[in-house]
């Protein structure tokens, strides 16, 4: 695995590979890697000749009171994990490389950037779009891999790629969870054992929404009420937002006919956690008794019955 800190050398390595006809897939990360990140790497490896990963804790996407300074970092461990996954190129630039003094250009996706996390974390998404646009320009990947776990980020990036005619295909990968349902996140290390248990209310609430929706409940207000009740039962957990929105526009939906994104952000102690599930379009949600078996698979929170039309849901999820 080649490790680059300099933009020029990363760019040159990518160009040489591309000139030799190799397809490059990029997995942007902030490090402190876990199985969620590795699932993106594996998806890239399955589709591309060469996998490039970036590790960059991007200051531009952190607010002044957020956890930039204490964000978990373990570069050596990350390198070992990526090496074991067959990653060819690792780009780990310094802040000065990415944002030299005087840099003043940002990429801002109007509208979408102010919704969900963008509403609570002003400026967060323009930090994300700016750094991802820069990474795309440096690497020029054919495919770039992102987690469905950050569903709002995915919507904003898709819009950026469309609006700016970027020559890259975004691949959305399903959320990877612990066996008990907790979505993997680099920030989970902040949780005490007690808080880790409390944090399970996020996946529990989403699981309940999936069950209700699968049973035919189609009123977003009712589903949100059930979500909030489950989270409210954990007194130490505060809801930052719980919304049912269109996965592309992030606007609230009034019915579930075309499917929807159920997105939650909560604070557990000082740790902010997000999670979401995609509800498939209504007409895809026909249930037989036989289908009501517990199952766990990508996109499905543990403990919730499997959707009978797996292939359809997988397409929707990705
Ligand atoms: P981060 O390092 O948190 O910026 O995440 C880098 C990429 O990994 C983003 O595209 C995330 O959506 C993705 N990711 C983070 N957690 C998970 C997870 N539990 N499952 C799948 N992808 C994830």
* CATH code: domain of residue 161: 3.40.50.620
How many angstroms separate the first and last alpha carbons of the chain? 29
Active-site residue 124, yes or no? no
Total structural domains within the chain? 2
Assess whether the C-beta atom of 33 lies below 6 angstroms from ligand 1. no
Catalytic pick from 37, 124, 126, 307? 37
CB 51 within 8 A of CB 41: yes
- Nearest alpha-carbon partner for 149 in 299, 314, 311, 312: 299
Residue 179 lies in a domain: no
Assess whether the C-beta atom of 149 lies below 6 angstroms from ligand 1. yes
Please check whether residues 49 and 25 belong to one and the same domain.
yes
Residues of the chain with pLDDT under 50: 287-298, 303-318
Sign of CA dihedral 203, 205, 206, 210: positive
Residue 282's pLDDT is 78
Residue 234 in tokens:
């954990």
Domain range for 232 is 186-317
Please check whether residues 152 and 207 belong to one and the same domain.
no
Residue 32 lies in a domain: yes
Assess whether the C-beta atom of 61 lies below 6 angstroms from ligand 1. no
DSSP symbol at 256: -
Please check whether residues 195 and 154 belong to one and the same domain.
no
- pLDDT digits 0-9 by tens, 127-142: 999 999 999 999 999 9
37 CA closest ligand 1 atom index: 8
Please check whether residues 137 and 206 belong to one and the same domain.
no
Please check whether residues 190 and 164 belong to one and the same domain.
no
- Nearest alpha-carbon partner for 50 in 11, 26, 24, 28: 24
pTM: 0.90
Q: How far apart are the C-alpha atoms of 163 and 113, rounded to whole Å? A: 14
Among protein residues, the one whose CA lies closest to atom 10 of ligand 1 = 146
Contacts of 111 (CB under 8 A, 6+ apart): none
36 CA to centre of ligand 1 in angstroms: 6
Please check whether residues 195 and 169 belong to one and the same domain.
no
Task: Name the pairing type of β-strands 2-4 and 89-91.
Answer: parallel
145 CA closest ligand 1 atom index: 10
Task: Name the pairing type of β-strands 24-29 and 271-279.
Answer: unpaired
Assess whether the C-beta atom of 124 lies below 6 angstroms from ligand 1. no
Q: How far apart are the C-alpha atoms of 102 and 94, rounded to whole Å? A: 16
Q: In what order do the strands lie in the sheet with 271-279?
A: 237-245, 260-268, 271-279
Residue 257's pLDDT is 87
Please check whether residues 148 and 296 belong to one and the same domain.
no
DSSP symbol at 59: G
């Amino acid at each position: 695995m080649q490790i680059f800190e300099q933009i020029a050398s990363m760019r040159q390595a990518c160009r040489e590979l591309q000139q030799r006809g190799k397809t490059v897939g990029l997995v942007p990360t902030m490090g402190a890697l876990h199985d969620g990140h590795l699932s993106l790497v594996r998806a890239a490896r399955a589709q591309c000749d060469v996998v490039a990963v970036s590790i960059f804790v991007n200051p531009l996407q952190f607010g002044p009171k957020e956890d930039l300074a204490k964000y978990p970092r373990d570069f050596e461990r990350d390198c070992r994990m990526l090496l074991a996954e067959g990653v060819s190129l690792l780009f780990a630039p310094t802040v000065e490389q990415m944002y030299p003094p005087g840099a003043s250009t940002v990429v801002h996706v109007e509208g979408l950037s102010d919704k969900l996390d963008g509403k609570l974390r002003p400026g967060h998404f323009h930090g994300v779009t700016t750094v991802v646009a820069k990474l795309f320009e440096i690497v020029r990947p054919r495919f770039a891999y992102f987690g469905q776990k950050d569903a709002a980020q995915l919507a904003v990036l898709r819009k950026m790629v469309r609006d700016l005619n970027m020559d890259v295909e975004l691949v959305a990968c399903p959320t990877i969870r612990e066996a008990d349902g907790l979505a993997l996140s680099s920030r989970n290390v902040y949780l005490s054992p007690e808080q880790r248990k409390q944090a399970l209310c996020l996946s529990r609430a989403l699981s309940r929404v999936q069950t209700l929706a699968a049973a035919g409940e189609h009123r977003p207000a009712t589903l949100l009420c059930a979500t909030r009740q489950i989270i409210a039962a954990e007194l130490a957990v505060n809801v930052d937002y719980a919304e049912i929105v269109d996965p592309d526009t992030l606007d609230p939906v009034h019915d579930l006919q075309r499917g929807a994104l159920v997105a939650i952000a909560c604070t557990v102690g000082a740790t902010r956690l997000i999670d979401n599930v995609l509800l498939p379009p209504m007409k895809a949600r026909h249930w037989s008794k036989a289908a009501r078996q517990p199952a766990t698979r990508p996109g499905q929170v543990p403990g919730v019955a499997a959707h009978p039309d797996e292939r359809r849901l997988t397409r929707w999820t990705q």
